[in-house]
Structure formats: structure tokens, C-alpha cells
Amino acid sequence: MPTEKNKFTFAPEVIIFDVDGVLVDVRGSFHRTTLETVRHFTNKRVTPHDLQKWKNQSGYNDDWKLSTVWVKSLGGKHEYDEVKAKFVELYWGTNGDRGNVEREKWLLPRPQLRRLAARAELAIFTGRVRQELNYTLDRCGVHEFFGRIVTAEDVAKPKPDPEGLLAILNGRDPAKAVYVGDNVDDALAAQAAGIPFIGIVSPDIERSRARAALLRKMGAKAILQSVKELELRVAPLTATAKSGSSPLPAT
């Protein structure tokens, strides 16, 4: 049963999405690669539970950095460039071996994206680099739905800095946007930009209740179990919005 807080609805002009953990299930790709990288350098058995503990802290949105810090915390003497190179190899694959990138799953079906795009401008602010993002958007056939896209390479300061969100707003009222993300740095970035935040917390992830509570504490206006629920929370921008759009839940 949704709680009272969970019935919040939005009528944004722009919906800004985080990618990993929101639009894409990356447990098989980025998460698996992080674990394999740390195991490679340390021979220690690290688990998704351990990974989640790192991810619940601010400052570990970048998996190359996270992997390096994690390896060092376990006594490894390896530097960022070496750890990143291994990560990239495991993620993309080598010499015809398929990398973990093939294991990722797109989560928001095209018909829903099309309906959302008719109601609001869709944008992306991600910690991915451009190559990783374009590969996924093109492979999943969804590139056309997104206008402004800000990747890790387009900002001087990564999340939780709001730079990317402010670039997408480009002077517009932050109250007329929403940012949909899944972790602490997403919530902090939204807060700093003055943009309402919607948290995605899948019940499949470990300690999902604690994570939902954490995001609420950081100002999340609503917590959804999947990005597929977003459509029910986004009101049509104008009365002329498509008549075929889904009815809104009562508030």
C-alpha cells in the first residue's frame, strides 16, 4: 500500500533521469564489473551487499573511483589508472569476448517513454561517460526521446554537485522540473539545484526499505519501486495533452 507521501504527483516541464538503477538495471553490468574488478586485484570475496554499503555513501557514484578506493581499503596497492583499465576491459570485453555490458537491461518501455515525452521534455544527467551512455541508448532504440543530455564528461564537478542539473534547466524554474534518481548523490544534487526529487528503490535490491528511508531523509518527494510507475505520477502539462494518457491516481 502506498503511503500518503507516496501519492505526490508532478506536472513538470522537464523530467531529468539518472540512468543507472533508474532507466537501466546495471546489476549484471556495472555492479558485476565492480565486484569482479575488486576481486581481481585483492582476491577477496566481495559481495553485492558490500557494494550497496559503498553506494549508500555520498561520493561513490563513479565506479572507477569506487573500485580504486575499495581495492585500496582491502590493502591493494593499485592506482586508479590500472584499476580503471581492468574495469573497462571487464565491462566492454576483449578480443571478441563479450563484456558485462551485454548483461544490462533497459527498464522503461518505448510506449511509456513516448507518452512521457508527449507530456514533458525528457533529459538525462548521468555519471556515465558519453560512450557508455550512447551505446545503451542506441542499442535500446531510445535515443530519440531525450533532448538535453549531460554526462560525466560534460561537467567540471560530478554529482552530488548540481552543475549538470543546472545546465539542463538553463535558467528555467527548478520547481518545474523533477529529477528521478536512485542514490544519495542524486538526491543531494537535486536538493542543491532546488529540483524536486523522485527516488527509485527496487524491492529487489538489498535493504531496500533502509534505502528508501535514506532517500526520504534527503528530501525525496516520492519513492517508486520502478521507473515504470512514474507515468502515473506525472500529470499532463496542459489540458490538450493526449486523451489516451493514463488517468492520474487520486491524491
Nearest distance from residue 182's CB to Mg ion, in Å? 4
Among the candidate windows 18-26, 106-114, 170-178, 206-214, which touches Mg ion by CB under 5 A? 18-26
Note whether 189 and 174 are within 8 A (CB): no
Phi/psi-derived region of residue 58, left when phi > 0, alpha when psi is between -120 and 50, beta in every other case: beta
The residue within the footprint of Mg ion, chosen from 18, 25, 104, 132 (CB under 5 A), is: 18
The residue within the footprint of Mg ion, chosen from 15, 20, 137, 233 (CB under 5 A), is: 20
d(CA 105, CA 28): 8
x/- string (CB under 5 A) for Mg ion, residues 144-183?
A: --------------------------------------x-
User: In this complex, which beta carbon is closest to Mg ion, that of residue 21 or of residue 164?
Assistant: 21
Note whether 251 and 137 are within 8 A (CB): no
Nearest distance from residue 1's CB to Mg ion, in Å? 26
- Which one, of 61, 65, 82, 81, lies nearest residue 73 by Cα? 65
Nearest distance from residue 181's CB to Mg ion, in Å? 6
For residue 62, state whether it binds Mg ion (rule: CB under 5 A): no
Nearest distance from residue 183's CB to Mg ion, in Å? 5
The residue within the footprint of Mg ion, chosen from 12, 21, 76, 174 (CB under 5 A), is: 21
Locate 234 and state its grid cell: 506525472
For residue 12, state whether it binds Mg ion (rule: CB under 5 A): no
Among the candidate windows 14-22, 130-138, 189-197, 216-224, which touches Mg ion by CB under 5 A? 14-22
For residue 199, state whether it binds Mg ion (rule: CB under 5 A): no
- Size of site (CB under 5 A) for Mg ion: 4
Nearest distance from residue 150's CB to Mg ion, in Å? 14
Q: What is the DSSP string of 112-178?
A: HHHHHHHHSEEEEE-SS-HHHHHHHHHHTT-GGG---EE-GGG-SS-TTSSHHHHHHHTTS-GGGEE
User: In this complex, which beta carbon is closest to Mg ion, that of residue 41 or of residue 151?
Assistant: 151
Nearest distance from residue 23's CB to Mg ion, in Å? 9
Note whether 33 and 87 are within 8 A (CB): yes
Strand (E) positions, the chain?
14-17, 24-25, 105-106, 121-125, 149-150, 177-181, 197-200, 222-224
- Give the pairing type, strands 177-181 and 149-150: unpaired
Locate 161 and state its grid cell: 554537485
Binding site for Mg ion (CB under 5 A): 18, 20-21, 182
